[in-house]
Structures are given as C-alpha cells and as structure tokens.
C-alpha cells in the first residue's frame, strides 16, 4: 500500500509550470493521507548566486489534497491563505539581500518541493517564470549617450512607447511591459559608479528621441516610468522636455535629489541634499534614512524643486506610506497641492498605507532591507510583506491602464480593451 501511495503523490503547478513572471500559479498537492501534515518549500538562486528559501506547513484535507488557493499555511514563512506566499517570502540566509533578477533572457526559476514532517522529500516541481513573452525582441542599445536595452512587442504596431528609468540597470519591468504591447527602453539613471558632480537632462532627452524614432512607435508622445531617483528625472523630463505625454512616478522625490541637474549646458536644478546626522540605525544593521533628506519646502531648497506645473503631460503619482527611504507620501501631497494651486488636474494619485519603498512588478520576493546603491550602506525599505505584495499586484494593472489610456489614440483604445 505504501508503494502505491507515493506513486500517486503529485505536486502540480497550474495552469502550467511555465508562465510569465507577473502571472500567478496555483500550487496543488494530491495523494497524501487524509489530514496529513506536510511542508512545502520553495528555493531559487538569484543572478548573483545567492540562494533564497521559503517554507510553509499545510494540512491535507480529508481526501489527502492541498490547494494553496484555498488552504491556509499553519506555520513557516507566512501563515494564512496566501496562494503565492512561497514566492513573496523567499529569503536569503544573510540579511539585507535583494533578489537580483534583472536580465530578461533568463527566467526566474523556482523549485517547489513537498516534504514529510521528518523532512523526507515526497515530490517536487519547477516553475519557470519568464520575463519575455513569445515574440518580444530584446536589443541592447549603445548610441550616442543612450545606453540601455530596447524591448519591442511582436506585430506591426504602432505601439505606445515608454522610457523605463531604473536607478541602476534592470530589464525586469521593461520586458514585462513589452509583453503588454509597449515598446520600452530600459535606461539606467546610473551606469557604473554614480557621477555626483552633475547630471545632464540632455542624455535622457536623447533617449526619448531615440524611442520616438523607432519604426514601430506610434506618433503620440512618450511615457516615462520611474521609481526612487528615477522619479525626479522623470518629473524633470515632463517639466523641461516636450513630448512627454505620461509619467508614472513611484516613491520618488518632488525635488532633484543629490546631484546638480543640467540642461543645454546650464544648471536648471540645484541638488536636495542629505543630513547624515538624521540617519537612524536599527538592530538588524540596516539604517532608516527617511528623515535624513532635507526638506524640499524649506526656503533654501526651493531651487531643487521640479517645476511640474510647467508640464503638459499627465502624471500618475504613487506613494507607499511605509516607505522608509524618504517621505514619498509627503512629496506626493506637495505635488498634488502645487498642481491644484496652478489650476491643473492632469494627475491621478494612489497611496498604499502599508507598502514599502521598493514597489516592483508582482510575485517577486519581498525585500525589507538591502544595500543602498548611492549611499553604499544597508537601508530599510519598509513595507508589511503581505500588504506590499497586494500593492504591487494592484499597481501593476494600474500602470498598464494609465499608460495605455494616455499614450493611445481613442480609436486604438477601444480595441485594446477587448
């Protein structure tokens, strides 16, 4: 009897073990004893070779089955019903590790395994989570001052175009947006070591022009999506450079952070600086830097505030209230107030009460703290893990709807909704 039991043991990933990075899967187990207690484990290795793990204990129903869409985890990395909880809670053994999955050609590989209480493995299955859908083209770009990666959807187009400003190079969000019918140029704000002397808005304008010149791009203006330091660059493009039709600003600043910004050989914005005396250390060894950023509303910092009231395009402002990197919610409120004061209503805004700084495409591992790219010490990003994951899922759809609405002519809009 024991033999036939194990032969029927199944760990299934539905609808398929292969999917896109931003698609959910259903994890189901069959062939267990009635009410048997087991542990499900997930593990994955990131691009830097760091191993991440998660686990959760489940009790089978009377028929010896478990369905993660229905059944609660009793203990482990999370408790309660959380169908994609094993992915969200993947964690490295060392503290302050961000899961690097930034190259679009390699899928995010997650190994799921089922174990008896004593630890013996009963079954396993591998989930291949792809960043690029069928027919999407990936072309590295090195032209003039433009250094990034261009993603183009299959088909004739014309497609809406989006500049994805990542603080440091990542192809993840750009490739996933290309799957949805956008031509996307992933462009890092910093290549290699950040130059803190000056930043040229002209380089980003050049990237916009490169995008607009692509054969499959529709004639309507370009969209920009950004987070963190990319946010103030996106605002500056909207304020100073023509043709920016839509800006998605995620947990950015309302002022130009850290580095003087130049355009056409003259400084247009002074830098808003940090006061390192206001950094708060935590027991984990990561620092809270939220209160270390100087106040953009103070008189002496007025020259760093981006004059978004000059912009013709539309804004989607997104702020996490548990962002511990800086006061994203405060910056959002300031910008909304300023636009209203100028009689403008060219914006939408969303706030997520319990989410943290790093809002990304859904179903990646939650990162509570990691090394800060500019400051070179570990910082706390914030976010209650489950609420943060829910915010990522909600926002991902919102971003697509906003960009599609703002970058498509009305005729094309009706067809894309079918």
The pLDDT value given to residue 91: 98
Say what percent of the chain tops pLDDT 70.
96
Is 55 an active-site residue?
no
Catalytic residue among 54, 73, 228, 320: 228
CB contact at 8 A, 323 and 359: no
Is 304 an active-site residue?
no
Contacts of 306 (CB under 8 A, 6+ apart): 232, 235, 236, 239, 254, 255, 256, 269
**∠ CA(263), CA(265), CA(271), 5° rounding?**
55
| Of 231, 190, 102, 235, the residue nearest 373 (C-alpha) | 190
Is 4 an active-site residue?
no
Catalytic residue among 96, 130, 314, 357: 357
Taking only the tens place, the pLDDT of each residue in 308-341 is 999 999 999 999 999 999 999 999 999 999 999 9
pLDDT above 80: residue 2: no
| Confidence grade of residue 415 (pLDDT, cut at 50, 70, 90) | very low
| Mean pLDDT over each residue of the chain, to the nearest integer | 94
The Cα–Cα gap between 320 and 354 comes to: 7
Kindly report whether the global pTM for this prediction surpasses the value 0.85.
yes
**∠ CA(211), CA(416), CA(358), 5° rounding?**
60
Taking only the tens place, the pLDDT of each residue in 128-163 is 999 999 999 999 999 999 999 999 999 999 999 999
SS3 at position 37: strand
The Cα–Cα gap between 311 and 304 comes to: 16
Catalytic residue among 22, 71, 232, 323: 323
Complete domains list, the chain, with CATH: 2-130 (2.60.40.2240), 137-409 (3.40.50.1820)
Which residue would you say has higher pLDDT here, 405 or 192? 405
């Amino acid at each position: 009897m024991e033999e036939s039991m194990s032969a029927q043991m199944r760990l299934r990933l539905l609808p398929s073990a292969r999917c896109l990075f931003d698609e959910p899967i259903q994890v189901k187990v069959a062939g267990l004893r009635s009410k048997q207690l087991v542990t499900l484990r997930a593990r994955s290795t990131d691009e830097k070779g760091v191993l991440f793990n998660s686990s959760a204990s489940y009790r089978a129903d009377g028929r010896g089955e478990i369905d993660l869409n229905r059944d609660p985890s009793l203990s482990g990395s999370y408790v309660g019903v959380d169908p994609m909880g094993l992915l969200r809670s993947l964690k490295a053994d060392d503290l302050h590790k961000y899961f690097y999955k930034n190259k679009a050609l390699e899928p995010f590989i997650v190994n799921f395994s089922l174990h008896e209480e004593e630890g013996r493995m009963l079954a396993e299955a591998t989930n291949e989570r792809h960043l690029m859908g069928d027919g999407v083209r990936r072309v590295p770009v090195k032209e003039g001052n433009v250094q990034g990666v261009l993603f183009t959807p299959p088909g004739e187009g014309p497609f809406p175009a989006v500049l994805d400003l990542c603080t440091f190079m990542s192809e993840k969000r750009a490739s996933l947006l290309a799957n949805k019918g956008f031509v996307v140029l992933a462009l890092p704000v910093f290549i290699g070591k950040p130059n803190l002397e000056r930043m040229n808005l002209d380089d980003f304008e050049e990237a916009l022009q490169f995008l607009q010149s692509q054969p499959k791009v529709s004639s309507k203006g370009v969209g920009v999506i950004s987070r963190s330091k990319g946010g103030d660059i996106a605002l500056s493009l909207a304020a100073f450079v023509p043709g920016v039709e839509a800006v998605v600003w995620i947990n950015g600043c309302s002022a130009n952070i850290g580095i003087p910004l130049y355009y056409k050989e003259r400084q247009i914005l002074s830098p808003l600086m940090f006061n390192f005396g206001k950094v708060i250390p935590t027991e984990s060894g990561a620092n809270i830097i939220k209160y270390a950023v100087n106040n953009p509303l103070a008189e002496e910092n007025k020259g760093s505030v981006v004059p978004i009231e000059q912009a013709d395009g539309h804004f989607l402002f997104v702020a996490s209230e548990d962002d511990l990197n800086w006061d994203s919610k405060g910056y959002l409120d300031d910008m909304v107030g300023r636009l209203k004061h100028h009689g403008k209503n060219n914006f939408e805004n969303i706030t997520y009460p319990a989410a943290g700084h790093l809002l990304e495409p859904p179903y990646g591992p939650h990162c509570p703290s990691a090394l800060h790219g500019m400051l070179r010490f570990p910082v706390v990003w914030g976010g209650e893990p489950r609420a943060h994951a829910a915010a990522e899922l909600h926002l991902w759809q919102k971003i697509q709807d906003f960009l599609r609405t703002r970058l498509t002519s009305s005729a094309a809009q009706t067809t894309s909704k079918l």
